[in-house]
Amino acid sequence: MEKVDCIIVGGGLAGLSAAYGLASEGLEVMVVERGDYSGAKNVTGGRLYLSPIRDIYPELWESAPFERPVTRELVTLMGDGASTTIELASDRFATAPHQSYTVLRARLDQWLADQVMEKGGMVITKNRVDEILMEGDKVIGIRAGGDDIGADVTIIAEGVLGLLSSKVGLREQPTARDHALGYKEILELPSSVIQDRWHLNEGEGAAHLFMGEVTKGMMGGGFLYTNKDSISLGIVVGMEAMRERTEKVESHTLLDAFKELPHIRPLVEGGTLVEYSAHAIPEGGIAKVPKLFGDGYLMVGDAAGLALNALLTVRGMDFAIASGFYAARAVADAKNRGDCSAAGLAQYEQSLRSSFVLKDLETAKEIPHIMENPRLFTHYPQAVSGLLEKLYTIGPHPSQKLSSTVIGGVRKDFMNARTLKELLAMRKI
C-alpha cells in the first residue's frame, strides 16, 4: 500500500484548515474532496465569527473573501399576526477589527483550498473516499476509487453526518434528534439596494434571526444575512420536531411562507434566485461530541459535532477552523516524535479543551435541552408580541391604565409556575 504522511477526508473548512497547518510545516498532505471544488457541497447560513480564530493563521484573514462585516444585529420574535424586532446597532461591531463576517462557502472554501496548495498541500477534488481503513482499532488509511492509500494519520473532516466514521465505529450513527435541517436561498440584489434596505453604510452588513411562527413553532428559526451582492435567506428546523409534528409540513413551504410575510416581502423584492441549498446541522452539543482521537486518526469540524446553536449566535465554521488548526499542530508534533498512536495524538483534545472550542461547548451544554422546549418557539414570541400589541392599541373603548395592561399581561404570560420554572432552567444557559 502506498503511503503519505497525512490524509484528510473532506475539503471543507475543518479539513482545509488542518491541511494548511500541516502543509505549512512541510508535511505531505492529501485532502480528498468529493465535490467538484472545495465549497461545492458546503452550506452555511451565512456568518463566520472571526474573533475567536483571528490569531489562528493571522496571515490568512487579510485576503479572505469575506462578504460584509456584521454591524447590525436584529432578532424578531414572531407571534401569530404580530412580531417584535429587537435591533442592536453597536459602534463596537462597526469598528475594525470586526468580530464577524457574512460569507459564501463556494468562495471561502475555494480560496482556502488555494492557500493550502500555495503551501504545497494537495487538494484532490471530484474524488470520494469510500472507506476508512482499520487495522484493529487503528486507522491506517483510506480506500478511494478502488485504491488503498496509507497514512501515518488520517484526519476525518467528512462533515456532519459522519457516514464513513460511523461505519467503522469511530462515532455514533447520526440521529434526527441531534440534527437540524438548514436550507436557504441566495437572492441576488445590487449592493446599493442592500445598503438602502438594511440601512447600512457602504460595505457593512446585517444579520437578522427570526423565532416563532417562522417555523410554525418548531425548534429552529429563520435567518437573513446580507452578502456583497446578494442575501442569504433561510430556515433551520429541528429534524425531530419536523418528524414529531402531527400536522405535517413540507420544509420548503416554510421558506415560501417566510418570503411572503408582509415585513419580509419588501426586503427580498426583485431579488434573483441564484442558488438553493440545504444541509444537516449538528445540534447535539457537547454531549454528542464523539471521541476526538485515537490510534492514527483525529476528528475535526462538523464530523466531530463541533457546532453551537445558542439562539442569538449560531457557530460552527470558527470551531471547524480552530479544530483543524489544533489537529495540524498535534499531527506535526506526533510526526516529530514518531508516535502517531492515540497517546501521541492526545495533545489534540487537550488543546481543544483549553481553547474556546470545547470551553464554549461546555458552557452551553444545557442549551440543547432548553431548546427542546417547544414553548420557546410558540408561547414566548407570542406573549412578547401580544403584550406589546396591547400597549400600542387604541381602541374604541376607554383604555386601561398602562400599568395594569403591563401587569396583567406579564402576570398572565410570565408569572405562572410553568414559565417561572422554565426561566429558572434558562439560568443554566
Partner 1 sequence: MDIVVSVKTNLDLQMIRIKNREPVLEAIPYKTGDLDKNAVEAALQLRDAVGESKVIVLTVAESNRKVRETIKEVLAMGADEAVLIVDPALESTDQAGVARTLAAALQKIGSYDLVLFGEGSSDDYSGQVGPRVAELLGVPQIGYARQITAGGAGVLVERSMDEYIETLEAPLPAVLTVVSEINEPRIPSLMNIMKAGKKPTEEWSLADLGLDPAAVASSCETLSNLAEEQDRKHIMLEGGAAEQAAGLVNALLKEGIVGR
Residue 147 near partner 1 by CB under 8 A = yes
Pick the stretch among 29-37, 42-50, 356-364, 400-408 that binds partner 1 (CB under 8 A).
29-37
- What minimum distance in Å lies between the beta carbon of 408 and partner 1? 55
| Strand intervals (E) in 92-146 | 100-102, 122-124, 129-135, 138-144
Whose grid coordinates read 424578531?
76
Comparing CB distances to partner 1, the nearer of 119 and 390 is 119
Q: Quick check: helix, strand or coil at residue 102?
A: strand
Q: Quote the CA–CA distance of 186 and 273 in Å, as a whole number.
A: 6
Q: Which position among 86, 88, 163, 274 is part of the footprint of partner 1 (CB under 8 A)? A: 274
Binding mask 66-85 for partner 1 (x = CB under 8 A): --------------------
Place of cell 440601512: 199
CB of 130: closest distance to partner 1 in angstroms? 11
Identify any residues that bridge with 47 across adjacent strands, giving them in sequence order: 102
- Tell the smallest beta-carbon distance from residue 203 to partner 1 (Å): 18
One-letter amino acid of 218: M
Question: 3-22 mask for partner 1 (x: CB under 8 A)?
Answer: -x------------------
Which member of 64, 74, 122, 310 binds partner 1 (CB under 8 A)?
A: 122
- Which of 86, 88, 89, 124 contacts partner 1 by CB under 8 A? 124
Q: Specify the residue for cell string 492557500.
A: 115
Min CB(3)–partner 1 separation in Å: 9
Q: Are strands 138-144 and 129-135 parallel, antiparallel or unpaired?
A: antiparallel
Residues in the chain: 429
Q: Measure Cα distances from 279 to 70, 99, 170, 182, 332 in Å.
A: 23, 25, 22, 5, 32
Per-position x/- string for 89-108, each x denoting binding to partner 1 as judged by CB under 8 A, each - no binding: -----------------xx-
Residue 273: strand pairing partners: 187
Give the SS3 label for residue 210.
Answer: strand
Binding residues for partner 1 (CB under 8 A):
2, 4, 28, 30, 32, 36-37, 106-107, 110, 114, 117, 120, 122, 124, 127, 144-145, 147, 149, 188, 272, 274
